Each structure stands twice: as C-alpha cells, then as structure tokens.
Amino acid sequence: MRNNFSLSDAKKNAKSCVVATGILVTRFGTPGRRRFLDYLLGTTVLATLGAILYPIFRFISPPQIVEAAKNSVIAGKVGELAVNAGKIFKFGSKPGILVRTPTGDLKAFSAVCTHLECIVQYRSDTKQIWCACHNGQYNLNGQNIGGPPPRPLEEYAVNIRGDEIVVTKS
C-alpha cells in the first residue's frame, strides 16, 4: 500500500512530517536530518583541522619571552684578556665585544653589525673590529671605516671592580 502523502502536502502543512522516503521535512521543505548531519560533519572537520593546525602553528612561531633589560654585566676577569685581543660576551639577549687595545685600554661595544646584524669579531692583525658577513670594518672607537655598515657600533662603558670587568650601557 502506497502512502499518498506528497511533498506539496508537507509544504502546505505548517508542521514537520515524514514523507514516504522517511526523510524529515521541515515547514520550508528542506531536509532537516540531512542539514543537521551536514552541519555536524562540517563542524567536526573544522574542529579536526583546528586540532591539527594549531599545534603546528604554535611550534613554528617563536615564543614571546620578555627578557629583563640588563644595564650592566660582568664581561670577564682582568687577567683573562691579553693585550691586542677581543672577547665576545653576552649582554642581555644580544652579544657584546670586549677589546683590549694594543695600548692596554679596555673598550666594549655591541657585537651586532649595523649592516645586517651579523656578529662582529676582533682581528688583532689589522687592529680592527671586523664583520665577516660583508667585510664590514670598524676602528677601535666603534666607527665604521669600511664596507657596507651604515652606522657605528653602540659603545658601552667599561669599569673594573676588583678583578672583574664590568660593562655598562652608557
């Protein structure tokens, strides 16, 4: 026996009803179960993608670590740095360079090249601070004298406390 209830009758009726195929039809004639299952499947797919992509994004992006600003650090011991020699030390989150000049004076600068932020080093043969990335050269006052660096190095103040060399931002 066939059910004579048609889709046009369901549209006319304000209530939801079951058609011969067994699909729930709402008052606007759209299949309610199918819409609900599509919605459920779509949100499940989005939630799964979010659960996969969020840890990948967090792994790729570096953490936001706020480091306390340091105004002075101990760069080394007085006897550890020979005449006409240089030493890299950590000044907060950036490196610094401590140089004992051929006359015996101690000078300290930021060890970050002002061109492309490479780490500079002291060359005792030329008595200069040198950047190996693009052959940037600085004199012992931190002034750029050759190569592409646009600005001089940031200079730090050097003090001796007992047998320790203390470097301070000036």
Q: What is the pLDDT of residue 4?
A: 56
Amino acid 47: pLDDT: 93
Q: Provide the residue ranges of all domains of the chain, joining segments of one domain with +.
A: 7-60, 72-169
Q: Domain 72-169 belongs to what topology?
A: Rieske Iron-sulfur Protein (2.102.10)
Other C-beta atoms closer than 10 Å to the C-beta of 90 total: 12
Half-sphere exposure of 131 (CA within 13 A, CB side): 28
Burial 155-164 (b: 16+ CB within 10 A, else e): ebebeeeeee
pLDDT in tens, 111-154: 999 988 899 999 999 999 999 888 999 999 989 898 898 999 99
Give me Rg for the CA atoms of the chain: 36
Residue 83: exposed, middle, or buried by beta-carbon count in 10 A (0-12, 13-18, 19+)? exposed
In the block, which residue shows the tokens 């992509």? 53
The answer to whether residue 44 scores a pLDDT higher than 90 is: yes
Is there a contact between 167 and 156 (Cβ–Cβ < 8 Å)? yes
pLDDT tens profile 60-114 = 988 776 655 678 888 888 888 889 899 999 888 889 999 998 898 999 999 999 9
What per-residue confidence (pLDDT) applies to 77? 87
Q: For residue 134, give the amino acid letter.
A: H
Name the β-bridge partners of 94: 91
